[in-house]
A and B are shown apart, each in its own frame.
Chain A
């Protein structure tokens, strides 16, 4: 069996499962966005208050009275149902980062959360995916139906060149395979580059699993995984690997030794091209965004600070920096990265989903151009339908913020 088949079989209480089969599985944890729906059903308890997680991330602190009142409602529900894991602004950050920091993911677990980027958790060798409305079923019963997905393998061969990171890898893979190679499937990323990458770089690839349609975007666990989980996860867990005879619907091989920094042109995350190929277009930018659950971890802030140190953000550009969690914010603060960025004229925001989804804290106006370390560049994603969003790695975002136009970060390092 593949990794996904093993994890689903175990949670369904059966010896084996096959792609296409429908199973009811015990779920190890979920997010609490459906508590109000549970209350409306007249149910006064959740199946396990220790395994329900709520963090205010999309619109915190509240920009409007309506949002503030919705947060009051969340606090009431948290008390009523005795939810243990509730993190407001100042103590949380973005769901997928905070969930990990608080030890909620462990290898071999099955977790369904209320945000599309839930595939992020696959970096921990766990089956993590989205449950939106039907998370209420988990809250009531602790289980959910799943269709066992077909599995595909993406083999990342070679050695990743300096200054290329996980973001460049996923933009490259999506540019070649399209944004539906993972549609309704479990994608396993393996090979020498998977092993070479830092946990944070793998995390970007799992995070953008949903951008290639995936139900799960999995990595194998290794010492890097265990190092992050140490002292965060105290329950026992085991690494899950695929059997040698596991059946894959497809296997895709990439040699990444010659990879160069990538950008995705506006409109679709699959529009990736080498940044070198757009230099002659002199794409002027209005905003540079370093943030989101995709690329705002400590090493992302570190590389940006290294590029920007001693320089100034281009006068025609606003740069927004939003660390992926309050924990990362504190680490970057102590390491001096935020000071460097602030001195350069970047606006250092709190940890928020806001700019990435066009919600608040940096919405784009008509015809504005943004280079972003986030995950989506669909029309209207970050604000105006007339705005243009280019996706890139933190290094490319930082270098472009100084230059005022999209540039190759290797010239700035």
Chain B
């Protein structure tokens, strides 16, 4: 798993809900929808057209309580769109777990929304939590996961699926 990310920043505001990332009326109501199709509705209510502008490797920065609301996995469309890493002043618990399980590095970084402007470039180390603004030269400390913590191990495995495959095999739960 890659641990350092450098990319251009898209900024979003406070309390960006999972209803905005995964609109229920578009996605939940259509269970046959593919992840790629579903991603086209991400942020369509609050920022129409954004999905056409975002490039693989871009970073997303948000204010407090990012991913509030429903347990729909808002990290999946972000990952499909190519967002490499998410930083927010604070992140909802459910969204943070979904991010870990999806394998999308998502860090709680108090002060991040005042630290960077849209379009600036950041360098983020998800092991140390150090964030550097490559345009201003300033640094900010994000909350890194303890390296022995389950979420860090799941993230380093690339997400829950890879982590579980290994764990059920080692436990002898998989049929021969």
Please name all residues of chain A whose beta carbon is closer than 8 Å to the beta carbon of B32 when the two chains form the complex. 66
A43 partner, pick from B45, B64, B149, B168, beta carbons under 8 A: B168
B101 partner, pick from A45, A134, A211, A380, beta carbons under 8 A: A134
Of all chain B residues, which has the CB nearest A144? B150
CB distance from B42 to the nearest CB of A (A): 12
| A378-B71 in contact given A22-B149, A22-B150, A134-B97 (Cβ < 8 Å) | no
B92 touches A381 (CB 8 A): no
| A378-B73 in contact given A67-B31, A116-B94, A180-B64 (Cβ < 8 Å) | no
| Docked complex Cα distance between A18 and B135 (Å) | 40
Chain-A contact segment, one of B15-23, B51-59, B79-87, B112-120? B15-23
Is A114 an interface position by the 8 A CB rule? yes
A residues bordering B, Cβ < 8 Å? 22, 24, 37, 41-45, 58-59, 63-64, 66-67, 70, 114-116, 129-134, 136-137, 140-141, 145, 147, 179-180, 183-184, 210-211, 213, 215, 268, 357-360, 363, 376, 378-381, 383-385
| A132-B15 in contact given A145-B150, A183-B90, A380-B45 (Cβ < 8 Å) | no
A114 touches B150 (CB 8 A): no
Beyond contacts A213-B68, A359-B29: 15 other A-B pairs, Cβ-Cβ < 8 A, are: A42-B175, A43-B174, A116-B94, A133-B101, A137-B164, A140-B171, A183-B65, A215-B93, A357-B28, A358-B24, A359-B24, A363-B25, A378-B20, A379-B17, A381-B24
B71 touches A116 (CB 8 A): yes
Task: Produce 1/0 per residue, B1-41, CB < 8 A to A.
Answer: 00000000000000101011001110011111000000000
Is B106 an interface position by the 8 A CB rule? no
A136 touches B150 (CB 8 A): no
B174 touches A380 (CB 8 A): no
B31 touches A70 (CB 8 A): yes
Is B158 an interface position by the 8 A CB rule? no
Please name all residues of chain B whose beta carbon is closer than 8 Å to the beta carbon of A114 when the two chains form the complex. 71
B92 touches A41 (CB 8 A): no
B23 touches A132 (CB 8 A): no
Of all chain A residues, which has the CB nearest B16? A378
| A41-B164 in contact given A116-B71, A376-B69 (Cβ < 8 Å) | yes
A183 partner, pick from B25, B44, B92, B165, beta carbons under 8 A: B92
Please name all residues of chain A whose beta carbon is closer than 8 Å to the beta carbon of B174 when the two chains form the complex. 41-43
- Identify the 5 closest CB pairs spanning chains A and B, nearest first: A385-B45, A145-B150, A358-B25, A116-B71, A133-B101
A136 touches B160 (CB 8 A): yes
Q: How many residues on chain B are close to A (CB under 8 Å)?
A: 45
Please name all residues of chain A whose beta carbon is closer than 8 Å to the beta carbon of B102 when the two chains form the complex. 133
Please name all residues of chain A whose beta carbon is closer than 8 Å to the beta carbon of B105 when the two chains form the complex. none
| Docked complex Cα distance between A412 and B17 (Å) | 35
CB distance from A274 to the nearest CB of B (A): 22
Please name all residues of chain B whose beta carbon is closer than 8 Å to the beta carbon of A66 when the two chains form the complex. 30-32
| A58-B28 in contact given A43-B174, A180-B64 (Cβ < 8 Å) | yes
Please name all residues of chain B whose beta carbon is closer than 8 Å to the beta carbon of A180 when the two chains form the complex. 15, 64-65, 68, 90
Task: List 23 contacting pairs A-B, 8 Å CB cutoff, sorted by A.
Answer: A22-B151, A42-B173, A43-B174, A70-B31, A129-B93, A130-B94, A132-B71, A133-B97, A136-B160, A141-B171, A179-B15, A180-B15, A180-B90, A184-B96, A358-B19, A358-B25, A360-B29, A376-B70, A378-B19, A379-B19, A380-B19, A380-B25, A384-B25
Please name all residues of chain A whose beta carbon is closer than 8 Å to the beta carbon of B45 when the two chains form the complex. 379-380, 385
A132 touches B94 (CB 8 A): yes
Of all chain B residues, which has the CB nearest A383? B25
B94 touches A378 (CB 8 A): no
A134 touches B160 (CB 8 A): yes
CB distance from B46 to the nearest CB of A (A): 6
